[in-house]
């Protein structure tokens, strides 16, 4: 549950083959799967048709705030650690005022040289807290067996820009 009633526009950055975007669409959200890899978007279209919207897009590109929520499971942790602050800004740019960001993160990974990259809850709080009000930041209670005990979740609301 995203903390939003069904109907609002929700983005899935780094959607890959589209499973999360398709599931959100089935639950009544206006889901858009975004990925910078054209082959991934094509696979999502082939598998799920027009169940969700699909766009080839660089998450870091300039954008207008068009979404009420972001469902981010493994996109943030796939970014190089030096891009994390830019990623948070990209999330903020794409959300409408008061929009929600639901993120899944790994605090423990087995390899350090390639994604996913681990991050601590405190680091997420520091990064996200610059632009978002942290509503929840806690360990995942259910995970894939290979990820059990290594994940935590974020729910955060976009704050208005201070002038």
- Least confident span in 27-36, 42-51, 133-142: 133-142
Q: Give the three-class secondary structure for 2.
A: coil
pLDDT at 105 over 70: yes
d(CA 31, CA 34): 10
Q: What is the DSSP letter of 130?
A: T
Q: How many CA within 13 A on the CB side of residue 41?
A: 16
pTM above 0.85, yes or no: yes
Q: What is the mean pLDDT of residues 23-46?
A: 96
d(CA 84, CA 90): 10
Confidence of residue 118 (pLDDT cuts 50, 70, 90): confident
Q: Are 34 and 91 in contact (CB under 8 A)?
A: no
Cis upstream peptide for 116 (omega within 30°): yes
d(CA 88, CA 60): 10
Q: What is the DSSP letter of 44?
A: H
Predicted confidence at residue 137, as pLDDT, reads 85
pLDDT at 2 over 60: no
Higher pLDDT: 145 or 93? It is 93
Higher pLDDT: 73 or 34? It is 34
């Amino acid at each position: 549950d995203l903390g939003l009633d069904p109907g609002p526009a929700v983005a899935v950055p780094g959607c890959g083959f589209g499973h999360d975007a398709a599931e959100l669409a089935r639950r009544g959200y206006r889901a858009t799967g975004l990925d910078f890899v054209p082959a991934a978007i094509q696979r999502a279209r082939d598998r799920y048709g027009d169940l969700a919207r699909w766009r080839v897009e660089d998450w870091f590109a300039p954008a207008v705030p068009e979404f009420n929520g972001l469902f981010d499971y493994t996109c943030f942790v796939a970014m190089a650690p030096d891009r994390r602050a830019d990623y948070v800004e990209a999330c903020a740019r794409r959300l409408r005022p008061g929009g929600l960001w639901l993120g899944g993160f790994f605090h423990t990974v087995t390899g350090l040289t390639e994604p996913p990259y681990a991050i601590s809850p405190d680091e997420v709080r520091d990064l996200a807290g610059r632009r978002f009000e942290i509503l929840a930041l806690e360990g995942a209670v259910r995970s894939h067996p290979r990820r059990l005990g290594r994940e935590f979740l974020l729910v955060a609301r976009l704050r208005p820009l201070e002038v």
